[in-house]
Structure 1
Amino acid sequence: MRRVVITGMGTVNALGLDVPKTLEAFREGRSGISQLNFRDVDRLTIQIGAQIHDWQPETWFNRQQILLYDKFTQFTLLAAKEAVEQSGLDFQGELGLSAGVVLGTAGGGLNTWDENYRVVYEEGKNRVHPFVVPKLMNNAAASHVSMEYGLRGPSFTVATACASSNHAMGLAFQMVRSGAAKVMLSGGSEAMLCFGGVKAWEGLRVMSRDACRPFSANRNGMVQGEGAGVFVFEDYEHARARGAEILAEVVGFAMSSDAQDIVMPSAQGAERAITGAMRDAALNPEDIGYINAHGTGTAANDKTECAAVAHAFGHHADQLMMSSTKSMHGHVIGGTGAIELLACVMALRDGIIAPTIGYEEPDPECALDVVPNTAREAKVTAVLSNAFAFGGLNAVIALRKV
């Protein structure tokens, strides 16, 4: 079994179009949630989200590429570029044959669906662009990343709702650890902030109209976001041999299924994923200093997650720090775990714990240290990142300081 390390990371989200700006926002406890701005937003009940405003694809892509790339693919390619450049890897030759990409997304090319439904149903046109299918398919981002960098190894997309990118990164970790690949690009992306995307979520009645306040007693729902996060997972010996900067080590992964309800989470299912990740990493509860929580700001998630963590960690739960960065970058659905892993790397590498902003009132059912409102300096050597999805699908990743 090979050791697996992170040697590059990239992101695009409402807090910033790269990793340094995103980490700066984490340190400052800055919110990326604002008024939504797109066609027919006035018809929506929910009009806030963590939107990337003034997105100009022409800055990075030519006209032909834009015809092929839905927004979720554009986000992914920009994040992948940052991650690969930081890693210093060149995938020409033999390395490209043993490198691949696994990405997560829940909606795929939702903007493309939305635009073309309008063309056919609202405008009454009988033809759509011939690139609609390759633009909207869920594997489009993974395929374009593989083509951009010549990644000829395992390449595919995982769709497990809000756990998509954690499942993707867990699978990438397992491939490198097993020797199936030397390097994997992994993470996730989502671009659901369009009329149809927000209208669909409105129907669930879990959305906040004003702010995301995870674990606060007066929380009133989640807030959608958009963006991407991509990481370079690399064989430790390969990274060390080429003198790469190692940002963190990926040491464990576990997944579980509640097999219970399509939308209501189970504390038992979440707990099994948490304890499974620690077991896979050969870590004890007292080794974990920080958890990046799923922390959506809904009563169902927050109480269930706190109960799962309390049970999994026992008496050590009182010494844990756990925060939800969704309070800042919103819930990026299939891409959310990838953006949240940035906060885990920051905790290990920089000794800074990202806060849960918007926290106003203690909730006795969420009585953990949720790092309220202000970032904290703390030395931690091992962390977890939680993702619990609709359908009862749970995925937890463990990282360690190198």
Structure 2
Amino acid sequence: MIEIERILISGIGVVSPIGISTQDFYNNLINEKYSHTIETTAFPGHGDDKRTARLTQEQKNSIDKLINGSESMPNTAKYAIYAVDSALKDAGLNESNLLNKRVAVIIGNNDAESDVFDNYIKTGRFVKYGYSSYNISKGVSDYFKLNALNLCVHNACASSNMAMDLAFTMLKNKLVDIIVVGGADSFSLRNYAGFNSLKSLSQSTCKPFSSFRDGITVTEGAGIVILERESDMVKRKKSAYCEVLGIGSSNDAYHLTHPEKNGIIMAVEKAFKYSGITYKDVEYIMPHGTGTPTNDETESAIIKEVYPDKKNLKGICSIKGTVGHMMGAAGAVATVAICMIYKNGILPPSSKSIPQDEVCDVKVITEAIKDDNIGIFVNHSFGFGGNNSVVVLRNYN
């Protein structure tokens, strides 16, 4: 019988308006410290009365100081490289111990290099860097001199979870040794205008599962995790944040923007089957939790159907009320948050979720709680076009 190795997360990195270090990011989640402001750069009449969460100039300057040649890079590439640098350092990986390793890069993304496109709309000219999502993963691979496959995954807001799905399969099959995986998306005026036309933008702040919810808060940044096989980490005497038990993805193609319950349940059941767990094993869920009426109602209905007795399900922990919706990077940023929860044993509140909508009858965590004995965490990520991806994580000890 062939022994299948465990796949572990050895390092994490994040770029977000609430922190460009994992500790600052996590502390601000716990303390519900957010930075949402009225968007001042929107196309005229396309959401100039709505709020976004954007990186500060100080944060951007800090990123630029770290990255050689940053002046010629679009924002998404910079965010990805900065988060990857943090994650590699956290994993204890450097140029010397990566030298003879096959290291792949898989980045989930929603809108390519959005600032390049936004500049084209204003000036009619593309900068020499070009407008291509592939430049993001290739830029990371080239910057760190990594020598295996690099690619970008486009599956709307499920992109980074689906990137994780591909990475997990590649490592299980020993096609590579290490995978740098996650998501990156800088703020996009085109996406912002699109969500505004769909009446999906919040005028205040995102309030997942609240009766006062009125839409998403668009944000920007990156989330990166390093995936390794257990045997390699044992050799390096490196501890892990958690184990990736399994991932289930689906595309129901039901509707361009409306989530479909059965298609999402298909992804959940695939993830459970691959992981060898049942709904009774799940303790916490990191929901997609966009704060839109339709998404939250559908996701609540799914949770109630999949977890009929809810006895072992301790709670639903949504972070978009604080950090906002990071588009293609949303799933990866949620995974970074879960890793920090495993490390610290404190779950952040689902910011702005009070009062909870009676229709969304699920156990939403509304204040920080201590739990030093977390087992299985499930991370939901859903995107336009029926793209759904569910990651199952387990504490590693």
- TM-score, L = length of structure 2: 0.93
* Matches for 1:345-360 after TM superposition, within 5 Å: 345-360=339-354
Displacement of 1:273: 1.2
1:82 aligns with 2:75: no
- Determine the structure 2 residue equivalent to 1:399: 393
Report the secondary structure of 1:364's partner residue: coil
Matches within 5 A, 1:303-342: 303-316=297-310, 319-342=313-336
Write the letter of the residue equivalent to 1:192. F
Structure 2 unaligned residues grouped into runs of 5+: none
Query: Which moved further from structure 2: 77-86 or 346-355?
Result: 346-355
Cα distance, 1:45 vs. partner?
Answer: 3.2
Task: Determine which of 33, 37, 48 is the counterpart of 2:36.
Answer: 33
Matched, 1:375 2:376: no
Residue in structure 1 matched with residue 5 of structure 2 by the alignment: 2
Structure-1 separation of matches of 2:39 and 2:48? 11
Aligned pairs for 1:146-295 (under 5 A) are 146-193=141-188, 195-295=189-289
Q: After superposition, what is the alpha-carbon deviation per residue over 1:243-276, rounded to whole angstroms, capped at 9, x for unaligned? A: 1121111111000122311111011111121122
Paired with 2:172 and 2:145, the residues of 1 have a C-alpha distance of 21
Offset at residue 153 of structure 1 (A)? 1.6
Q: Distance in 2 between matches of 1:252 and 1:81?
A: 26
Question: Size of the alignment, in residue pairs?
Answer: 389
8 Å contact 1:163–1:393 — kept in the other structure?
yes
Residues in 2 aligned to 1:19 and 1:281: alpha-carbon distance in whole angstroms? 27
In structure 2, give the amino acid aligned to 1:31: Y
Offset of 1:97 from its aligned partner?
A: 4.7
Taking structure 1 as the reference length, the TM-score comes to 0.92
Residues 193-225 of structure 1: CA distance to partner in whole angstroms, max 9, x if unpaired? 4x4342232111111111110001121111101
Q: CA deviation at 1:241?
A: 0.9
Shift of 1:365: 1.8
User: Residue 30 of structure 1: CA displacement?
Assistant: 2.0
- Aligned sequence identity (%): 25
CA displacement, residues 314-363 of structure 1 (integer Å, 9 cap, x when unaligned):
21267331121011111100011111112221332322112111122222
User: Are 1:52 and 2:61 counterparts?
Assistant: no
Q: Distance in 2 between matches of 1:39 and 1:297?
A: 21
- Runs of 4+ in structure 1 displaced over 6 angstroms? 39-43
Report the equivalent of 2:67: 61
Q: Which moved more, 1:354-363 or 1:390-399?
A: 354-363
1:105 paired residue among 105, 109, 117: 109
> Are residues 42 and 15 of structure 1, via their aligned partners in 2, closer, same or farther at CA, if it must alter by over 3 Å?
farther
The separation in 2 between residues aligned to 1:298 and 1:40, in whole angstroms, is: 22
The residue identity in structure 2 corresponding to 1:77 is: I
> How far apart, in 2, do the equivalents of 1:322 and 1:393 lie?
21
The structure-2 alpha-carbon separation of the partners of 1:80 and 1:221, relative to structure 1 and needing over 3 Å to count, comes to same
Q: 1:17 matched to which residue of 2? A: 20
Query: Partner of 1:31: helix, strand, or coil?
Result: coil
Instruction: Name the Cα RMSD after superposition.
Output: 1.9
- Contact 2:282–2:312, Cα closer than 8 Å, also in 1: no
Task: Tell me if structure 2 keeps the 8 A contact 1:318–1:369.
Answer: no
**Which deviations, in whole Å up to 9, do the C-alpha atoms of 1:220-246 show, x marking residues without a partner?**
111101000111000110011111121
Q: Deviations 1:349-396 (Å, cap 9, x if unpaired)? A: 322112111122222221111101x21112311101000110001001
Give the Cα separation in 1 of the matches to 2:215 and 2:241. 34
Counterpart contact for 2:283–2:312, Cα < 8 Å = no
What is the alpha-carbon distance in structure 2 between the residues aligned to residue 290 and residue 43 of structure 1? 37
Give the AA of the match of 1:396: V
Q: Please give the secondary structure, in 1, of the residue aligned with 2:243.
A: strand
Q: Report the secondary structure of 1:315's partner residue.
A: coil
Alignment check: 8 A CA contact 1:346 1:353 kept? no
CA distance in 1, matches of 2:347, 2:300: 18
Aligned residues of 1:325 and 1:356 also touching (Cα < 8 A): yes
Aligned to 2:139, the other structure's residue is in SS state helix
Q: Secondary structure of 1:230's match?
A: strand
1:274-295 CA-partner distances (Å, limit 9, x unpaired): 1221221112222211110000
> Residue 141 of structure 1 is aligned with which of 136, 144, 155?
136
Q: Name the SS for the 2:216 alignment partner.
A: coil
